[in-house]
């Protein structure tokens, strides 16, 4: 398994390199000089020069990139253009919030998607199947933030079962954390559960027609065992790929859903940074996202190898 992880990591090196170059070049792509942004219109020439020097803007591009990368690899993503906040501190402080929202919604999406997909696949063309397929079609057309607003209207404002806004960290109160994360996670996970349900259904319908399923039934194994052990293990192989992609989608969606529930996560950080063209902050956010995506992809490969013996390196 270690070998698989190392192999995959090496394969991801070019990707990481390109992303880092793209991220770095954001500063150069900016139409205005960053020094202008920081100092404003009425600075002196001397102030501009100082800022340019501090940001390393007077260096040639390549050494600047090397320096930037070197510092980034050590966890130093620079300082915000607008205050003395360290980018890595700001990002790390909000990361757990967005992560727990993404993780819970991925879990919900997987459970709902599996249940609906399997139920539909067991009786193709039945009412269950049509209902699940119809639900999945609708689910993929509903914007997550609108669904969030509706959930707030019903379960927070009217029924008062959940808080309408805010986020409690898991470490301070697991129960309050669960209460604060439930509605946003459901809102965020809806579209992904629809996508997963579709994939589970089609994979399951295909697997259930395989010879080994009939052979297992012929051996007198119960329907339940054949469906959940023999069929599901194989049907999960393509589902894992979809889940991995959906986690990336959820990570992006979390940025928006956080706004509905006034959750102070990476989304709020990103929106503020964009409005101010706070490039170091944006760079930090992109790099964190990429690292998360890479971790998810690695995990996917490991799970994939576990489910599919043919994919293991021998």
Partner 1 sequence: MSVQSASASDRGARSGSRRRASAQAVTVAAVAVLSLLVIAAVAAPWIAPYDPLHQSLGAALQGPSTAHWLGTDDLGRDVLSRLVYGCRIAVIAAAEATSIAVVLGVPLGLFVGYRGGWWDWAVMRLVEAVVSIPGIMVAIVIIAILGTGLHRAMIALGILFSTSFLRLARGVVLTEREEVYVKLARVVGASDRRILLRHIFPNIAPPLIVQVTLTVGAVLLAEAGLSFIGLGVQPPDASWGTMLNTAASYMELNWFLAIPPGIAIVATVLSINLLGDVIRDSIGRGVAVGVKPTTPVARFEAAAPASPESAAPPPRRDDDVLRIEGLQVVVSAKEGGEVPVITDLSLAIARGETLGLVGESGSGKTLTGLSILGLIGAGGRSTHGTITLNGTELRALTERQREQVRGNAVAMVFQDPTTSLNPAFTVGNQIAEVLRAKKGLSRKAAWARTIELIDRVGIPRPAERARAYPHELSGGMAQRVAIARALSCNPALLIADEPTTALDVTVQQEILDLFRDLQDEFGMAILFVTHDLAVAADICDRIAVMYAGEIVEVAPVDTLFATPRHPYTRGLLSAMPHASDRDPPLPTIRGTVPRPGSWPRGCRFSDRCGFRTDACGQRVPLTGTGRLVRCLRAGDPELEAGR
Q: Which positions from 143 to 172 touch partner 1 by CB under 8 A, shown as an x/- string?
A: xxxx--xx-xx---x------x--------
Q: Does 286 bind partner 1 (CB under 8 A)?
A: yes
d(CA 197, CA 170): 29
Characterize 239-272 residue by residue with b for buried, 16 or more Cβ atoms within 10 angstroms of its Cβ, and e for exposed: bbebbbbbbebbbebbbbbbebbebebbbbbbee
The length of the chain in residues reads 314
Q: State which of residues 239, 289, 301, 304 lies at the interface with partner 1 (CB under 8 A).
A: 289
Shortest distance in whole angstroms from residue 48 CB to partner 1: 21
Q: Which helix (H) or strand (E) holds 124?
A: none
Shortest distance in whole angstroms from residue 82 CB to partner 1: 13
Q: Does 270 bind partner 1 (CB under 8 A)?
A: yes
Kindly list the distances between the CA atom of residue 116 and the CA atoms of 14, 113, 137, in Å, as whole numbers in the listed order: 38, 5, 13
Beta-bridge mates of residue 79: 86
Q: Does 251 bind partner 1 (CB under 8 A)?
A: yes
Shortest distance in whole angstroms from residue 60 CB to partner 1: 22
d(CA 200, CA 116): 8
Stretch that binds partner 1, among 18-26, 46-54, 108-116, 171-179 (CB under 8 A): 18-26
Q: Does 260 bind partner 1 (CB under 8 A)?
A: yes
Q: State which of residues 47, 210, 264, 300 lies at the interface with partner 1 (CB under 8 A).
A: 210
DSSP codes joined into one string, 279-298: HHHHHHHHHHHHHHHHHHHH
What's the CA angle centered on 108, arms 102 and 109, to 5 degrees?
85
Kindly list the distances between the CA atom of residue 41 and the CA atoms of 32, 38, 252, in Å, as whole numbers in the listed order: 12, 9, 35
**Count residues contacting partner 1 (CB under 8 A)?**
70
Contact residues toward partner 1 (CB under 8 A) are 14-15, 18-19, 22, 26, 29-31, 137-138, 140-146, 149-150, 152-153, 157, 164, 210-212, 214-223, 225, 230, 233-234, 248-249, 251-253, 255-256, 259-260, 267, 270-271, 273-275, 277, 279, 282, 285-286, 289-290, 293-294, 297, 307-310
């Amino acid at each position: 398994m270690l070998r698989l992880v190392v192999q995959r990591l090496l394969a991801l090196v070019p990707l990481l390199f390109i992303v880092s170059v793209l991220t770095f070049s954001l500063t150069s792509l900016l139409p205005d000089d960053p020094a202008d942004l920081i100092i404003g219109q009425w600075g002196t020439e001397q102030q501009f020069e100082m800022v340019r020097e501090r940001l390393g803007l007077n260096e040639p591009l390549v050494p600047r990139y090397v320096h930037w990368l070197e510092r980034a690899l050590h966890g130093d993503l620079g300082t915000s253009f607008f205050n003395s906040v360290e980018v890595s501190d700001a990002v790390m402080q909000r990361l757990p919030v967005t992560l727990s929202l993404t993780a819970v919604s991925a879990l919900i999406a997987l459970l709902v998607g599996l249940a609906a997909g399997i139920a539909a696949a067991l009786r193709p063309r039945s009412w269950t199947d049509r209902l699940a397929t119809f639900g999945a079609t609708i689910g993929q057309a509903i914007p997550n933030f609108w669904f969030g607003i509706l959930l707030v209207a019903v379960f927070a404002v009217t029924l008062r079962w959940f808080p309408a806004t805010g986020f409690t960290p898991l470490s301070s109160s697991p129960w309050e954390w669960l209460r604060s994360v439930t509605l946003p996670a459901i809102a965020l996970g809806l579209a992904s559960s629809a996508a997963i349900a579709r994939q589970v259904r089609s994979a399951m319908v295909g697997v259930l027609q395989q010879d080994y399923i009939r052979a297992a039934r012929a051996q007198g194994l119960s329907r339940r065992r054949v469906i959940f052990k023999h069929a599901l293990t194989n049907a999960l192989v393509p589902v894992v790929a979809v889940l991995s992609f959906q986690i990336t989608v959820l990570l992006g969606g979390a940025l928006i859903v956080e706004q509905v529930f006034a959750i102070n996560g990476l989304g709020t950080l990103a929106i503020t940074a964009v409005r101010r063209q706070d490039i170091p902050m944006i760079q930090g956010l992109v790099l964190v996202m990429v690292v998360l995506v890479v971790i998810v992809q690695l995990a996917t490969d490991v799970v994939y190898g576990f489910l599919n013996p043919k994919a293991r390196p021998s």
